[in-house]
Chains A and B, each alone.
Chain A
Amino acid sequence: MKRLVLLLVAILLTGCVEKEIIDDINIEVAVGYDKSEDGKGYRGTVLFQQFQPDQSVENVTFTGGGKLRQDLLLEVTKQSSEPVVTGGLKLAIFGPELVKEGIYDLVDSFQRDPSIGARLFLATSEGKSGDLLKGEYGSRGNSKYIYNLINHNIEKRDIPKTNLHLAARDFYQKGKDLFLPRLKQTGQDKVEIVGISLFQEDKEVDILPVEKMFFFKLLVDKYSEGNFDVKTSEDARAAIQSIRSKHQIKVLNRRAKINIEIYGIIREYTGKVLTPEIIKEVEKKLEDQVERESVKLLKRFQELGIDPVGFGQMTKQQHRNFDFKKWEDEYKQLTFDVKCDVVIGETGVIE
C-alpha cells in the first residue's frame, strides 16, 4: 500500500512543470540591437535556426522594438509560431549608434537571465546589426558562423579573449575598461572582423583598426598561436608563426614597465637565404616594432582616458587603501616603458 502511494505520487508529480520539447520551441541563437529610427528605445533583431530535413540550417529573423530586452522578446513571440526560449543564445551584436549611447542595460539583462550562458560573445558592428544578422553565411547557420569566426580568431589570431563574463568583469572592475570585437558585413554572404571597439564605462569611444590588433593583444592577453609579418629589407619579408607571448606589467612611481616576451617560428621568408644574421635582424625588427607601436597605443588610450590594459587594477593590487579618484590624475601622467624580447626558435624544415 505504502509503495503504491509513493509510485502514484512519483507519477502524478512529474506533470507539475511545463515541458519544452525541442521541436516545439524557437531557440534564440543570436540577437542584434540597433537604435530605433525615432531615437527612443531600440530595435532588435532576433535570429532563430530552423533545421531542414537535409541537415542544413535556415536562418529566420524577427525584428521588434522596445525599451527593455523583454519587450523585444514579447514582440518576437507575437510573430513566432512557437514559444521563444533564450537558452541557446550565443551571440549579441550592438549597432553603431547604440554603442555610443551605452550598452550597460542590455549587458545587465543578459547577466540577470539565468538561462543565458557566460560564454555568449558580445560584439559591435559597423553598419546596422540587424542587417548583419540577416545575411546568409555558411551552411551551418549565421550564429554558428559568426561564433566560430570570433572563436578561432581568439584562439589563433589577434582578438583578445572575450565573452559575456569577461566583458562584464572588465566593465565592473575598477581601473580597467571594456573592449569588444567589431564586425562588418562585407557582402550578403560575407562578414569580417574589422577591429576592436574600445569603451569608456559602457560607451564606445574609439575603434582600434585591424593592423593594431596584434599589439593590442600582446598588451592585454597572451598569444598561444598567432602570426605576424616582418619586413626585413626592401623585397624580403618574414612570416612568423606559432607565436606564443607573455607580458608582465609593473607600475612604479608613475612609470609603467611592460615586458613582452614573444616566441615564434619563421614559416615563410621571401629573401634569398635565411642566415642566423637575418634571424637576428628579424627578431630586432619585431622587437622595435612592438615597442614603438605599443607605446603609441598606450599613449592613445591615455589621451582618451581609457584603460583597457588595466593599469589601474594592477596598481591597486600593489597598494592598500587605493584611491581610484587620485589614480585618474596619476594615469594621465603615467610614462610607459615597453621592453620586448623576441626569440625565433625554428625556421621550418628547410634551411
Chain B
Amino acid sequence: MNLEFFDANSFIGRPMNGIFKPAQSGRDLVIEMKKQNLSKAIVWHIFQYEGSPEKGNRMLAEQISGYSELYGCWTILPPQTDEIITQDFFEKMKENKIVALNAFPEWHRFVLNRVSFGEFFENLVERRIPLFLTMGRTCITWESLYNLMRDFPSLTCILCDIGIWGVDRFTWPLLEKFPNFYLETSLLSLEEGGLEATVKKFGSEKLVFGTGFPVRYPKAAILELVHADIPDNDKEAIASKNLERILREEKL
C-alpha cells in the first residue's frame, strides 16, 4: 500500500561527533526525504541540544524557511532565566513555522515540572502545543516523565527514541492514563510485535511515525510499518494522520 509519511523525529545540522552522515541543512534533509518518499517532517537542529538552545532555535528557523515540507521544533529552557521564553514567544513560534517544542532537562540541567514551568505549561496545554521528549541523549528519566505527566495530565507529549531495550512496562501505564500522551515509532518498531501489541491495547491513535534520521535508517521504520500486522487505516493514521490531527488541534 502507498502510505503518506509525516516524520515526527529527525534533526538537521552536523553534530560534534558521531559515525552517521548528517543532513547539514534544511535543503539536505528535503533531498533525503524525497529519496525516502517522506512527505513532511517536524525537525530540530542538533545545536539546540549540543551548543545553545537560543542560537540553535534561530539556526533552525533559518534552515526551514522556504521549505513547505519542514516544520520546526524549538528547544525550551525554564522561563525564569529569560533565555528562550519571552513575552512574544508564541508569536515568534508562529512567525517561524515552529509547531512544536522539545526539552532536554537532564542535559541542559533543569527540572521539567510544575515548579519550573507551571504557568507556561498551562499555556501549552490550553494551546495544545506538542512537547517532544526523548529517552535518548540523557534527556529525562522515567520517574521525571511520570511526575511531569502527573503535574500536567492533559499535556500533549510525544515521546521519541524510546530505547533499544523494550520499554512497554514504562510506556503502557502512561498511554493508559494520559489521553494526549503519544509514542513516536522509530524504536517502537524495533521491537518484534511492539507496534501491533500497542495498537491492539491502546489504538493506533496513540502512535506517530518517526524515522530517527540521521542517527537511524528511515527505511527500517518504513518497512516495519508498511508490513505491520494491523489494518490499513491504522497504518495511515500512524504514518501521517495522527500527527496532522495533533497539529490541526493546535492553537498558536
B partners with A = no
Which residues in B have some Cβ–Cβ distance to A below 8 Å? none
Which residues in A have some Cβ–Cβ distance to B below 8 Å? none
